[in-house]
Amino acid sequence: MEQPEGYDVKSQTNEKMVCKLEKSLYGLKQSGRNWNKMLHDYLCENIFVQNPSDHCVYKRETEHEKVIILIWVDDLVIAASDERALKTVKEILIGKFQMKDLGRLKNFLGITFDQYDGGVTMSQQSYVGKLLERFDMQDCKPRSTPCEPKLNYTDGDEKLSDPRKYREAVGSLIYLTSCTRPDLSYVVSKLSQYFSEPTEEQWITVKHVLKYLKGTNDKMLCYRKCDEGLRLVTYSDADWAGDANDRCSTSGYCVSLCKNGPLISWKTKKQPTVALSTCEAEYMALAATIQECLYLTQLLEHLDDY
């Protein structure tokens, strides 16, 4: 590390000297890697096993207990089979790190968790409220659908005078869609294709989505125990040549852990290659779905006897 300005010390031969760091400083490009390596080594020393499909997931399982740790930078979410196992893991981590116990999981990354006997809910009501206030839509009239039935934009539409506002709104909607609102997946995917030069008509669609959120702010994902057993239930679809400009198709899929259970994965994406038939469009959509299912299968197999 270079010496800070005003505290330069020269060597006996008048050469420039540098500082040798005894530990990583916050903000250095090496700090993230050093923190990850130290945490990984310490968890492995305490019989935790890293998930091969997701390196931010660790599991420790014995005959009498099971503990799963999820890592987000320097925040940890710990799930345990009982209170005793949870307390043991906390003591292990406190012995090594200066850790603050925030108690039962309630708010994490803008998502509100509500745990009850036999299930848990995930919602972003607070996030949606702040989003509506940010774009002056808190007093708007609610809409019953996320968008109009068809979203076909033409190149002759009037360009938006402030494209930054459009990008901020759609970026906020992308995070909302990826966390708890699969019902917005299609329209947000469509709007995200016009970041470079958005038009007034596309901004009207953004406001339509915000009006829909105004009327559906209480919607949430509810996860409960499944009596019929866990198995991946997947649906895949594609529209052939749905984009009027370049004739590209749109893929979509959704995955749940049981037939009537909530979604655990979903996605809508414009296909990068022009399909020459409906069969080819469906095949490309199905290939993307299978890739996601393989990942989820490997992830679940490591977490439990799936």
Beta-carbon count within 10 A of 123 CB: 20
Ordered domains of the chain (ranges, CATH)? 36-105 (3.30.310), 123-215 (no CATH), 226-303 (no CATH)
pLDDT at residue 40, as a whole number: 95
pLDDT at residue 306, as a whole number: 44
Question: What pTM was estimated for this model as a whole?
Answer: 0.84
Residue 38 near residue 22, CB atoms below 8 Å: no
Residue 70 near residue 59, CB atoms below 8 Å: no
Burial class (CB in 10 A: 0-12, 13-18, 19+), 225: exposed
pLDDT at residue 296, as a whole number: 94
Specify the DSSP element, H or E, that contains 58.
strand 57-61
pLDDT at residue 87, as a whole number: 93
Length, in residues, of the chain: 306
Specify the DSSP element, H or E, that contains 288.
helix 278-303
Q: What is the pLDDT of residues 151-167, one digit of tens each?
A: 877 777 788 888 999 99
pLDDT at residue 305, as a whole number: 56
pLDDT at residue 224, as a whole number: 87
Write out the chain's pLDDT in tens, 306 residues: 788 887 778 887 888 888 888 888 888 888 888 899 999 999 999 999 999 999 999 999 988 899 999 999 889 999 998 999 999 999 999 999 988 888 899 999 999 999 888 889 999 999 999 999 999 999 999 999 999 888 877 777 788 888 999 999 999 999 999 999 999 999 999 999 999 889 999 999 999 999 999 999 999 999 988 877 788 999 999 999 888 788 999 999 999 998 888 899 999 999 999 999 999 999 999 999 999 999 999 999 888 754
CA distances from 201 to 61, 147, 155, 176 (A): 54, 12, 11, 22
Amino acid at 1: M
Amino acid at 266: W
Q: What is the pLDDT of residues 271-296, one digit of tens each?
A: 999 999 999 999 999 999 999 999 99
Gap between the Cα atoms of 249 and 150, Å rounded: 14
